Amino acid sequence: MRAHGGPSRGGVNRPLRRRLRVLVCCLVPLLWAVQTTAVVQAESMTGRGDARARIVGGTVTAPEAAPWAVALTDSSGAHFCGGALVSAREVVTAAHCTLDPTTGAARSATDIRVVLDRRDLRTRKGEVIAVERVWRHSRYEHFTRGDDVAVLTLRSGASAPPLKLVDAGERKRYRPGTTGTVYGWGRTAESEPTSQVLRSVRVPVMSNFRCSRAYPGFDRESMFCAGYPEGGKDACGGDSGGPFVVDGRLVGLVSYGSGCARPDFPGVYTRLSSYAARIRDLAR
């Protein structure tokens, strides 16, 4: 006589085999549901994080008010992100803007153009400069979204004046309540196409506590949040990589968010004080 729970001819007794079948039947749909939920959550988290963010609740802005604001296009002229000129030959943008949003492959420098002094992207006004080299932070990953910063080196110097970069390690301009201005050519609402016209919006920096409540993966060393608890004003799809400016200094880049201008979900920005030293080294 076998002891209860001992091996059967198949190596597992019949009651145990029945329990295993029930367990497998339950786990398969559960795993499918978890995977589906993860995909839905990822899709609702706009990069700004997938290179499709925007300006909501803002106003049309003349290029002379932000001469260092740049639009990034591919070689065919299709706009996909924003950025900021920080020296004659360097543009700072989000790391995710240097990756293909569909495949995740790195964009070739030869397929990126920097457009300056062009309020309306439907015109040919302004300056278009090819990119010579792309530096993307080595620790950037799409799923964690930290270290979302890149530097584009231009083939020739831009004529526009650069924007001053925040100092390394600075904290003053990131205090909760500090108001900054975001610039971009992105969507003016979640369901709208990109605006094609440069816009800007003023939003206050939020506390790290509020950010971490809205986004469990929030990292206070590489990110900060800005917006209003009630929503209504924000960056959006197409604004990714665009500048967040405080007191004439570039302090952040549009990175990601859940939807656009939603209550309790502020925009998330790259905290450039953590990368200022490296950016300045590249710009020398």
**pLDDT digits over 140-180, tens only?**
988 788 999 999 999 999 999 999 999 999 999 999 999 99
pLDDT, position 142: 82
Q: C-alpha angle 60/64/68, rounded to 5°? A: 95
The architecture CATH gives domain 49-58+165-273: Beta Barrel (2.40)
* CATH class assigned to 67-163+277-282: mainly beta
Spans of the chain, pLDDT less than 70:
1-54, 191-195
Give the C-alpha separation, 114 to 43, whole Å.
Answer: 28
Chain-centroid distance, C-alpha 83: 11
Identical topology for domains 49-58+165-273 and 67-163+277-282: yes
Q: Domain spans of the chain?
A: 49-58+165-273, 67-163+277-282
pLDDT, position 195: 65
pLDDT, position 187: 77
Number of neighbouring beta carbons within 10 Å of residue 230: 10
Give the C-alpha separation, 191 to 171, whole Å.
Answer: 35
Catalytic (active-site) positions: 96, 148, 240
pLDDT, position 52: 38
